[in-house]
Structure formats: structure tokens, C-alpha cells
Amino acid sequence: MDESSGLAFLGILLFLSGPIFYAIMYNRYRNIRERHYHESETPVQMNNLQVYDKLIHRQTRQSTNRITGANSTRVNGTLNPQRKFFG
């Protein structure tokens, strides 16, 4: 990102600063998105690890630094997660 587009990005961020402030404060008071992080907070021990990593090919000149369909951070076992913000 060069300097001028960086400034424009900051400008757009400033346009959103009212809603962003509202959302941050709303979350700080109501904490509706908070939950127990069972996937990382449950005591667990890993044993007998076997790993397999094989280079397949190199993709050059990709416009994004993420592979398609990356899903490793997905969590399925939450209790009816609610994403509502401005309720």
C-alpha cells in the first residue's frame, strides 16, 4: 500500500469512526459476543504426534496472501452464537 492510498484509507476509517466507537462501547458494556473458548481453554494433552508436510507447488503473483477456503480457525461447538451488534 503506498502513501496516498494509505491516507485515503485513514480518511475512510475516520468516516466510520462514529459507528466504530458505538460498536466498541456497546461490546464493552454488553459483551454479547463473549463466550467460553472451549477449543483452547480446555485442558488437553497431545501424544504420539505424526506430521506430514509435502510441498505440492508454488503459486506465484497471487493477489491475496491467504489460500482459498482457509478454515482452521472455525469453531463449531458454540452455544447459538449471536452476532447482533446494535440491538
Residues 66-85 that bind other proteins (CB under 8 A): 66-77, 79-82, 84
Q: Quick one: cell of 58?
A: 508454488
Least separation in angstroms between CB 40 and other proteins: 5
The interface with other proteins within residues 50-69 (CB under 8 A) comprises 50-69
Q: What is the dihedral of CA 51, 56, 58, 63, to 10 degrees?
A: -80
Site size toward other proteins (CB under 8 A) is: 74
Residue 1 Cα distances to 5, 48, 64, 70, angstroms: 7, 44, 13, 24
Least separation in angstroms between CB 83 and other proteins: 9
Q: Quick one: cell of 56?
A: 505440492
Q: Spell out the residues 6+ positions from residue 83 whose beta carbon is closer than 8 angstroms to its own.
A: 33
Least separation in angstroms between CB 77 and other proteins: 4
The interface with other proteins within residues 5-44 (CB under 8 A) comprises 5-8, 10-15, 17-19, 21-22, 25-26, 28-32, 34-36, 38-44
